[in-house]
Amino acid sequence: MPSVRRVSHAFLERQGLTTVFGNPGSNELPFLAGLPDGFRYVLGLHEGAVVGMADGYAQATGRPVLVNLHAAAGSGNAVGALTNAVASRTPLVVVAGQQVRPAIGPEANLASVDAPALMKPLVGWSAEPACAADVPRALAQAVFEARLQRRPTYLSVPYDDWSADAGDNALAVLDRRVLRASVPDGAQGRWLAERVAAAERPALVLGGDIDSAGRFDDAVRLAERLGGPVWAAPSLFRLPFPNRHPLFRGVLPAGIASVAEAFEGHDLVLVLGAPVFRYHEHRPGRYLPEGTRLIQVTEDASAAARAPMGEALVADPGAVLDLLLESPGASGAPAGPPRPVPEPLTAEGPGLHPEEVFAALREEMPGDTAYVVESTSTNAAWWRQMDLRRQGSYYFPAAGGLGFGLPAAVGVAMAQPGRPVAGVIGDGSANYGITALWTAAQHRVPLTVVLLRNGTYGALRWFGGLLGVPDAPGMDIPGLDFTRIAEGYGVRARHAGSVAELRALLAERPEGPRLIQVDTVLTTPS
């Protein structure tokens, strides 16, 4: 009779979850024993970096990925990183080790008390099987729930379960498939198409789900057909539209009043693949201008239910794109050439202006580079200088939790070894996921990390000004040399002291990972 471990490994192999990101403890070793030859275990030195790498990998591949964490302590270390995966709707399957069953009740060391509740309300589903024989079925549910909900799931498994007999019925899980179709029915499709066709001044708001689903180019076709302005939804984690396209108006500001101001003069706002809306700055006001109607299309039923205004259709935004592109209606005017990139601002005194750095990236890195960005104080400079025209070109921490950028860049590069990947990371952010450099070195990941060092938490200083507390303590971080840190983890590192030196370094094409540290002046994020 097969063991629980053997059936579980076979199920994961059939589902394509053969890359495992983890940092194991004693509770996890029985699951990891005897991994089949086709599996790859990616070791991270901290659970936050483990989840960040898995998040980037799953986003870049578009498929669920397995994360292996150590009981309550390891899961707790990963919670902060998990918030970004939840907000970006990344299908992570987290399997955590638990003490042997007889040791859970007495709360022996490394027992996770009430393990299913540990990750709530972050994960979309969590469980600890009631008996060993139910582990393969529960593991399958974790995979299918993550895939269907596009949200992390969590399964706690007592480590003595893995060697137990699975029972004959457990083999039935190997042939399971769970499919989902979310195409609007005829009446829903006609209703939506009629509303869009009747709009005289439509505006389009696109969310990161459009890029995640591979519908970047289709979104361009729809925008050009409608002929109205296009915004990216606030708190953007993926870029769903070319940022220099003449119809693109940028990322919506993340305040209630600011969003309403942007929509002035439009009778219809069509939101595809985004919550309505993920506000950040507290700018109270009307949700929408007088006479403006909003229709949201999202696969996320929870996002549709919690929206404070407008109408919602819970459906695949890609299917709706197809429907609207096939509906009769006049095409818009030709889009015209991309908007030109302005000359980069320059710094006065020591250090480069971030725009000089981003101009160098734009001109020296290949045009299909995928950028993983976690430098929030340089947002305005980033969007002024970059020219991103391809799907999957931009990744950002969806929940704003620091520590995503550097590990996610490693994960994206591992998922797409044939595509150039660059991490653009601030010095404040880098410290949260710095251990990912070791993993990059061990796997010789082809990754460029551009480390922007300004010696302070720039975005926090900007927010302090908004809140009227510019003199709060704990905002400066002097004395950090990331070239020495990177070399300690096995990553080749250089310091670029000028634009010419930076451009020369970026023009090189090393095989493994590298870090380029650049001193920059402080700028405001918007």
User: Which strands make up the sheet holding 125-127, listed edge to edge?
Assistant: 40-43, 19-22, 65-69, 92-98, 153-158, 125-127
Active site residues: 25-26, 28, 47, 70, 280, 400
List strand residue ranges (DSSP E) for 198-351, in order.
202-206, 230-232, 248-251, 268-272, 293-298, 311-314
List of residues 6+ apart from 312 with CB closer than 8 A: 276, 295, 296, 297, 298, 304, 305
List of residues 6+ apart from 288 with CB closer than 8 A: 260, 263, 269, 294, 309, 310
Amino acid at 306: R
**Element at 22 (helix H, strand E):** strand 19-22
Contact (CB, 8 A) for 336 and 220: no
The C-alpha angle with vertex 335 and arms to 331 and 336, in degrees rounded to 5, equals 145
User: Which strands make up the sheet holding 268-272, listed edge to edge?
Assistant: 248-251, 230-232, 202-206, 268-272, 293-298, 311-314
The C-alpha angle with vertex 205 and arms to 202 and 210, in degrees rounded to 5, equals 130
Contact (CB, 8 A) for 357 and 520: yes
